[in-house]
């Protein structure tokens, strides 16, 4: 059982029918820790201390500091327990109460600075706001029988563009420059699936129809604007927009300065690319090497899937010329511009086109 800890200490005492436990402390291997008549002090609970692993014949427990979630507007502990106040996409804040994480989950313990364990709470219009230990804050928005999950992307600063020596680099990716995003934003954790598009728009213009979880493709920037206006009608109170090019690269990198969000090398175990379109004779309407379902590969460090490959993704703005001056929430050309930026590469792109810094553009109509 546990007792109320003294200042800076966590005190553990054994049950009466046990005379000790296995203790693993930071930087030390596991060892047997006997329990005498007095409780055993296993360590100081100071910021960054731990974790400690305690194992008895009946239970294995890891004791660690839970850091304040970096997205939390406020957090604390009251009669109901540990809680955090989170930004709501409908404005204002929502209270999220800590819930014990499921045993054997994928997330490591202690959680990262984004981590907080809670199931979703209703926030209006059928949406649910929640948080997980691995990636942080999320919003689930239902569209018919389909649901789109969004991730909260916190404000921050990153280096945009690619260095001169990066393999496959294009001239418009430089010079590198610091970009500061002052406001956080919500971003869908996957490209829009055909299931979501059809639920919102009532039609499906995609070419690769093998799976409703394949991403929508074959849509223009203007088509996407019509989709976003339809979303706003279905979910009143939400302002639906595409990310700017700067926001897209910030989200894609997820804190990485490498060629790709995971590092410098790429294989088809990580992304869908470099495929040759071929029509299969005798199988009308069947295609080989095409788009794949939107969650086919592991997400990046912020929980976003397939930012590299599968389908090109539209951005809100046109291409701006880079310089070395620090930019604050930059926007490329917008009103009246007939070209818009696309990012990420596609199922038939070369690896160079999948790089985090790679830029391209298309006619918006």
Opening angle at CA 272, ends 136 and 282, nearest 5 = 135
What pLDDT sits at residue 150?
97
Please answer whether residues 58 and 50 qualify as being in contact, where contact means their C-beta atoms are separated by less than 8 angstroms: no
Backbone angles phi, psi at 310, to 5 degrees: 75, -70
More confident residue, 168 or 20: 168
What pLDDT sits at residue 14?
52
Q: What is the pLDDT of residues 269-296, one digit of tens each?
A: 999 999 765 444 444 444 457 899 999 9
More confident residue, 44 or 20: 20
User: Is 146's pLDDT higher than 90?
Assistant: yes
Burial 165-192, CB ≥16 within 10 A → b, else e:
ebeebeebbbebeebebeeebbbbbbbb
More confident residue, 328 or 286: 328
What pLDDT sits at residue 333?
92
Beta-bridge partner residues of 263:
260
More confident residue, 128 or 45: 128
Residue 65 CB: number of other CB atoms within 10 A?
Answer: 14
Q: What is the pLDDT of residues 213-254, one digit of tens each?
A: 999 999 999 999 999 999 999 999 989 999 999 999 999 999
Average pLDDT over residues 58-75: 88
Q: For residue 175, give Cα distances in angstroms to 172, 308, 321.
A: 8, 22, 9
What pLDDT sits at residue 278?
47
**pTM beyond 0.75:** yes
Query: Of the ranges 24-33, 171-180, 342-351, which one carries the lowest mean pLDDT score?
Result: 24-33
What pLDDT sits at residue 284?
47
Please answer whether residues 14 and 24 qualify as being in contact, where contact means their C-beta atoms are separated by less than 8 angstroms: no
What pLDDT sits at residue 6?
57
User: Is 46's pLDDT higher than 80?
Assistant: no
Burial 75-102, CB ≥16 within 10 A → b, else e:
beeeeeebbbbbbebbeeebebebeebe
Residue 177 host element (H or E): strand 177-181
Q: State both tokens at 120.
A: 């979703």
The pLDDT mean for the chain works out to 89
């Amino acid at each position: 059982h546990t007792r109320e800890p003294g200042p800076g200490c966590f005190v553990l005492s054994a049950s009466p029918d046990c005379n000790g436990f296995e203790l693993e402390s930071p930087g030390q291997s596991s060892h047997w820790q006997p329990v005498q008549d007095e409780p055993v002090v296993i360590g100081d609970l100071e910021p960054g201390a731990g974790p400690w692993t305690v194992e008895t014949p009946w239970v294995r427990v890891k004791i660690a500091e839970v850091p304040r979630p970096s997205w939390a507007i406020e957090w604390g502990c009251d009669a109901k327990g540990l809680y955090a106040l989170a930004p709501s996409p409908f404005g204002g804040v929502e209270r999220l109460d800590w819930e014990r994480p499921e045993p054997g989950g994928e997330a490591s313990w202690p959680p990262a600075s984004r981590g907080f364990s809670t199931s979703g709470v209703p926030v209006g219009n059928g949406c649910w706001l929640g948080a997980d230990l691995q990636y942080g804050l999320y919003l689930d928005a239902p569209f018919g029988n389909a649901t789109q999950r969004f991730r909260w992307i916190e404000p921050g600063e990153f280096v945009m563009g690619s260095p001169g020596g990066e393999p496959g680099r294009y001239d418009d990716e430089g010079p590198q420059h610091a970009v500061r995003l002052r406001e956080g934003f919500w971003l869908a954790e996957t490209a829009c699936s055909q299931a979501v598009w059809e639920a919102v728009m009532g039609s499906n213009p995609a070419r690769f129809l093998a799976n409703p979880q394949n991403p929508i493709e074959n849509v223009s920037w203007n088509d996407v604007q019509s989709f976003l206006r339809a979303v706003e009608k279905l979910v009143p109170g939400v302002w639906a927009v595409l990310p700017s090019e700067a926001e897209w690269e910030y989200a894609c990198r997820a804190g990485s300065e490498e060629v790709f969000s995971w590092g410098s090398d790429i294989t088809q175990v990580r992304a869908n690319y470099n495929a040759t379109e071929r029509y299969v004779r005798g199988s009308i309407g069947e295609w080989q090497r095409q788009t794949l379902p939107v969650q086919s590969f592991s997400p990046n460090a912020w929980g976003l899937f397939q930012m590299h490959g599968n389908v090109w993704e539209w951005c809100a703005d046109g291409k701006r010329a880079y310089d070395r001056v620090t930019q604050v929430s930059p926007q490329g050309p917008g009103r009246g511009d007939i070209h818009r930026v696309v990012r990420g590469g596609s199922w038939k792109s070369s690896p160079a086109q999948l790089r985090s810094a790679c830029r391209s553009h298309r006619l918006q109509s």
